[in-house]
Amino acid sequence: MPAKVSQKKNPKRNPLGKVFAGNIGALAVGLKYFFDPNRITLLYPHEYIKLNKGYRGFIVLIKEKCISCSSCARICPAAAMRMLSVKVYNEKLKKYMIKKYPVINYNRCIFCGLCVDVCPTEALYHVPYHDIVYENMNDMILSLEDFQKEPENIEFKEGIPVKYYFDERRGLVKTPYMEELEKRNEKEEKNQKVEGEGEKGAS
């Protein structure tokens, strides 16, 4: 069915007068939220959002899967991804050959994810976080080795992971993501056992 036009008018002023209809109504709503506020504020460095798996964050290369087709570099709208020529020893032919691999410049990347989507062998993937600090701009141009590692997120060490859930009454509700916390605690315990004396995160 196509759309219909519905003729409407500005709601009329309430006959009870300004005071009752407007001011009291507005004050009542204000008071309701004064006692029962709808807070969604994230205390950022102390808490961080544990994003879903589908989030388009930083990009990681799986070198073994790359077939050097350079589709990712060609489709990149910001020219952030470039192909790098690397000498690779080919065991079948027993000689060195030049092979191309993508590298990324995060100064330019806009996280559109077209490179990941266009890759015919799924050699690239997103990690679900994007808040990473680099000390200088040259570090943001990743080398081939760095591009294969998942970047390290500092918040993951200290902050509390938080997830937002949809709620009918409150819109978004912030809840600590316990699974992630437990996982991290287990990891820490293991590390402490291995190292003997636990070095608590001084960073």
Partner 1 sequence: MEAGTASSGSGIHLPGMEIAKASKNRYEVMIGPAHPGSGHMRIFVEVDGDIMVKVDPDIGFVHRTMEKLAEGREWIQNIPLFERIAILDACNITLPYVRAVEKLLGIEAPERARYLRTLLCEINRVASHLYGMGIFGVFLGHSTLYMWAFGDREVFIDLAERLTGARLTHTYPVFGGVRRDIPDDFPEDARKATRYMRKRLNEYAKIFLNNPNIRSRLENVGVLTKNQAAELGLVGPNIRASGIRYDVRLNEPYEAYGDVDFEIPVFEEGDSLARAWARVEEVRQSLNIIDQVVTWLEKHPRENFMHEKFWKTAPKLYKDVYEGKISYSPKYRIKLMPIFASLKVPPGKSFARVEAGRGEIVYYVESNGDIFPYRVRVVSPSFRNVIAFKYVMPGHRLMDLPAIYGSFDYFPPAFDR
**Tokens at residue 28, please?**
């009542």
Indicate whether 107 belongs to the interface with partner 1 (CB under 8 A): no
Identify residues 50-79 at the interface with partner 1 (CB under 8 A): 52-56, 69, 71, 74-78
Residues composing the chain: 203
The rounded distance, in Å, linking the Cα atoms of 92 and 130 is 40
Q: Cβ–Cβ contacts within 10 Å for residue 75, how many?
A: 14
Q: Which of 30, 87, 196, 197 contacts partner 1 by CB under 8 A?
A: 30
37-73 exposure pattern, b = at least 16 Cβ within 10 A, e = fewer: eeeeeeeeeebbbbbeeeebbbbbbeeeebeebebbb
Site string for partner 1, 9-28 (x = CB under 8 A): xxx-xx---x--xxx-xx-x
Q: Output 180 or 188, the one with its CB closest to partner 1.
A: 180
Identify residues 132-171 at the interface with partner 1 (CB under 8 A): 164, 166-171
Contact residues toward partner 1 (CB under 8 A) are 1-11, 13-14, 18, 21-23, 25-26, 28-30, 38, 40, 52-56, 69, 71, 74-78, 110-114, 117-122, 125-126, 164, 166-172
